[in-house]
Amino acid sequence: MRRNWPQAGHFYEAEKLKRMSILINKDTKVLVQGVTGREGEFHTRAMLDYGTNVVAGVTPGKGGQFIEQNDDTVPVFNTVKEAVAMTGADTSVIFVPPPFGADAIFEAVDAGIQGIVCITEGIPIQDMMKCYRFLQERSGWMVGPNCPGLITPGECKIGIMPGDIFSPGNIGIVSRSGTLTYEIVDELTRAGMGQSTCVGIGGDPIIGSSFVDVLGWFEEDPATHAVVMSGEIGGNDEEKAAEFIKTMKTPVVGFIAGKTAPPGKRMGHAGAIVSGSAGTAQAKIEALNAAGVTVADLPNQVPELVRKALQK
């Protein structure tokens, strides 16, 4: 069944959704681009240990090799097209170096991959501008670049998130910061609040999926009863999200990092910079408050705010 997703620039096919999570689940067939590199192999093994259905890897010139982990054997192919044809992979996670990041995205989409998780940090903005335009003309979805990935606890982990802090439940998480995601998730898990799906959208100026995209997917997911949105200084994505939240029935709790950041100084992510009067933490908090979102001052306040939001 086709659904009307928020029109915020994502390239998502609604019929690909599995309804008890967003984007990924235990049936997702994962392909790893850059699988034989240090980071790619390390995190491929971690994903396999978590139970992710990794069906293939791709490294040009390394076709015919295998990545073996416990009882799992992952074949390596020279091209994404070959890997998709042989294994039916539908989602790719990208660990290639920054100069080749855009080409990896293009190759995945051209091969028919429906979901892309780009972990690579440092892809030039000019390259991502071309990728973003390319993606708008095609079906599917992309998270990243410069992101920790996403996870449906107990089913599938794609990226670099530490799976042991997550627990299955009904709280959705969307964040620009991987580290803050982990801190908030750990607080929720310790409070007995499991998560439906957690998405790290990435901290670069140009990314594949925005807050609005992910909030829309959570809004349509019957397994998500509340959402935690963790933002930071820089850009206006949080302000756009606040406008969208006004249309949501699912309660949202917020957290904004970077309150003490001086204007003109980049804090962590490439997109985390205050320019003039735009992108300040206070402006984002005020926009969220106006949308009815309670914003935590500290991550450890999030569980109690979620509890109160669910009771309303």
For the annotated catalytic residues, the residue numbers are 269
Token code pair at residue 137 = 């003309």
Query: From CA 254, how far away is CA 240, in angstroms rounded?
Result: 14
Query: From CA 36, how far away is CA 42, in angstroms rounded?
Result: 9
Query: From CA 279, how far away is CA 256, in angstroms rounded?
Result: 11
DSSP-derived pairing of the beta strands 195-200 and 149-152: antiparallel
CA angle 130, 39, 139 (to 5 degrees): 35
Longest dimension (CA), the chain: 57
Side chain identity at residue 96, one-letter code:
V
Query: From CA 293, how far away is CA 253, in angstroms rounded?
Result: 6
Query: From CA 239, how far away is CA 253, in angstroms rounded?
Result: 14
CA angle 37, 43, 46 (to 5 degrees): 145
Rg (CA), the chain: 19
Write out the E strands in the chain. 30-33, 54-58, 66-69, 72-77, 91-94, 115-118, 141-143, 149-152, 156-159, 168-175, 195-200, 226-232, 252-257, 294-296
Nearest to 87 by CA among 66, 118, 71: 66
